[in-house]
Structure 1
Amino acid sequence: MNSRAPGAVLSPSNRGTSPCGVRADASDVDTQVGQLIARARVAQRDFAAAGQGALDTAASAAAWAIMEPSRNRRLAELAVRDTGLGNVDDKIQKNFRKTLGLLRDLHGRKTTGVIAEVAGRGIVEIARPVGVVAAVTPSTNPAATPANKIVNALKCGNAVIVAPSPKGYGACALLLRFVHAELARAGLSPDLVQMLPAPIGKAATAALMRQADLIVATGSQANVRMAYTSGTPAFGVGAGNVASIVTGSADLDDAAAKIARSKTFDNATSCSSENSVVIESGVYDAMLGALHRAGGVLLDARQARALANVMWVGGKLSGECTAKPAQRIAQLAGLDDVAQRRPAFLMVEESGTGADYPFSGEKLSPVLTVYRARDFDDAMSLVARIYAYMGAGHSVGLHGADRAQAVRLGETLPVARVIVNQAHCFATGGNFDNGLPFSLSMGCGTWGKNNFTDNLGFRQYLNVTRVAYPIAADVPDADALLADYFGRFGR
Structure 2
Amino acid sequence: MNAPNDIAPEIAEVDRIVAQARKAQAAYEATGSQALYDKAALAAGWAIMEPARNQALAELAVETTGLGNVPDKITKNHRKTLGLLRDIAEAKTYGVISDDPETGITEIARAIGVVGAVVPSTNPAATPANNIINALKGGNAIVVAPSPKGVASCEMLLSFIHTEFEKLGLDPNLVQMIPAPGSKAKTQRLMETSDRVICTGSQNNVHRAQSCGTPAVAVAAGNVIVIVDETADLSAAAAKITASKCFDNATSCSSENAVVVVNAVYDDFVAAMAAEGGALVPASDAAGIIARLWPDGHLNRSAIAQDADKMLDALGMADKAPDGTKFLAVETDGIGPDHPLSGEKLSRVLALYRASDYAGAKALAARVLAHQGAGHSVGIHTSDDARAIELGRELPTCRVIVNQAHTFATGGSFTNGMPFSLSMGCGSWGGNSIDTNLHWRHFVQTTKIVREIAPREPALEDVFGAYWREAGQ
User: TM-score of the superposition, structure 1-length normalised?
Assistant: 0.93
Is the aligned partner of 1:109 residue 2:82? no
Code of the aligned partner of 1:199: P
**Separation in 2 of the partners of 1:176 and 1:84?**
21
Hey, what does 2:40 align to over in structure 1? Answer: 58
Selected match of 1:82 from 64, 84, 87: 64
Aligned to 1:36: 17
**Which of 114, 120, 141 is the equivalent residue of 1:159?**
141
CA RMSD, 1 decimal: 1.2
Question: Following the alignment from structure 1 to structure 2, what is the Cα–Cα distance between the partners of residues 174 and 323?
Answer: 22
Alignment of 1:284-303 (within 5 A): 284-303=266-285
Rounded to whole Å, the distance in 2 between the matches of 1:310 and 1:352 is 18
Compute the displacement of 1:340 (Å).
6.0
Q: Secondary structure at the match of 1:121?
A: coil
Q: Distance in 1 between matches of 2:62 and 2:150?
A: 9
Q: Which stretch has the larger CA shift, 175-184 or 333-342?
A: 333-342
Partner of 1:468: 450
Render the CA deviation track for 1:152-184: whole Å, top value 9, x for unaligned.
000000000000000011011000000000011
Q: What residue is the counterpart of 2:183 in the other structure?
A: 201
Q: Report % sequence identity.
A: 53
Report what 1:332 is aligned to.
314
Q: Matched residue pairs, number?
A: 466
Query: What does 1:33-432 correspond to in 2, within 5 Å?
Result: 33-49=14-30, 50-339=32-321, 341-432=323-414
CA contact (8 A) 2:279 2:322 kept: no
1: CA distance, partners of 2:72 / 2:159: 22
- What is the one-letter code of the residue matched to 1:47? Y
State the Cα deviation string for residues 343-383 of structure 1 (Å, max 9, x = none): 10101011121011110000011111111112221111101
Distance 1:102 1:237 in 2: 18
Q: Structure 1 segments of 4 or more deviating over 6 A?
A: none
Deviation at 1:334, TM superposition (A): 2.0
Secondary structure, in 3 states, of the residue corresponding to 1:442? coil
Q: Distance in 1 between matches of 2:422 and 2:320?
A: 33
Assess if the C-alpha contact under 8 Å between 1:238 and 1:391 holds in 2: yes
SS of alignment partner, residue 378 of structure 1: helix
Superposition deviation, residue 483 in structure 1: 2.0
Return the offset for 1:338: 2.8
> Alpha-carbon deviations, 1:260-286, whole Å to 9, x = none?
000000000000010011111111111
Q: Distance in 2 between matches of 1:467 and 1:180?
A: 37
Contact 1:303 1:335 in 2 (8 A): no
Distance of 1:309 and 1:488 partners within structure 2 = 63
What is the alpha-carbon distance in structure 2 between the residues aligned to residue 54 and residue 413 of structure 1?
43
Indicate the SS of the match to 1:270: coil
1:424-483: CA deviations, max 9, x gaps? 000000000000000000000010010110100000001111111111101112222112
Other structure's SS at 2:124 match = coil
Distance 1:330 1:264 in 2: 13
Residue aligning to 2:4: none
Q: Residue by residue, what CA displacement relative to the aligned partner does 1:31-84 show, whole Å, maximum 9, x if unpaired? A: 211100111011101111221111111000000000000000000000000000
8 A contact 2:303–2:315 mirrored in 1: no
- Cα distance 1:324–1:165, how it changes in 2: closer, same or farther (>3 A)? same
CA–CA distance in structure 2, aligned partners of residues 356 and 77 of structure 1: 37
CA distance in 2 between counterparts of 1:118 and 1:426 reads: 38
Say whether the 8 Å CA contact 1:348–1:370 is kept in structure 2. Answer: yes
The one-letter amino acid paired with 1:48 is: E
Structure 2 partner of 1:446: 428
Alignment check: 8 A CA contact 1:129 1:156 kept: yes
TM-score, normalisation: structure 2: 0.97
Cα drift, residue 339 of structure 1:
4.9
Q: Does the 8 A contact of 2:256 with 2:350 survive in 1? A: yes
**Structure-1 separation of matches of 2:231 and 2:27:** 58
Instruction: State the secondary structure of the residue aligned to 1:114.
Output: strand
Verify the 8 A CA contact 1:307 1:330 in the aligned structure 2. no
Which secondary structure does the structure 1 equivalent of 2:90 belong to? coil
With 319-328 and 174-183 compared, the bigger mean Cα shift is at: 319-328
The answer to whether the 8 Å contact 1:325/1:365 transfers is no
Q: CA deviation at 1:490?
A: 1.3
Give yes or no for contact 1:48–1:55 (8 Å, CA) kept in 2. Answer: no
Deviations 1:302-338 (A, max 9, x none): 5322211121133222322210123222211222323
Which has the larger displacement, 29-38 or 287-296?
29-38
Q: Secondary structure at the match of 1:216?
A: strand
1:171-220 deviation digits (Å, cap 9, x = unpaired): 11000000000011111000000000110110100000000000000010
Query: Which AA in structure 2 matches 1:341?
Result: D
Assess if the C-alpha contact under 8 Å between 1:241 and 1:387 holds in 2: yes
Q: Quick one: distance in 2 between partners of 1:402 and 1:314?
A: 43
Q: Secondary structure at the match of 1:338?
A: coil
Supply the distance in 2 between the matched residues of 1:67 and 1:417 (Cα, whole angstroms). 28
8 Å contact kept, 1:152–1:461: yes
Local SS of the residue matching 1:482? helix
| More off after superposition, 93-102 vs 49-58 | 49-58
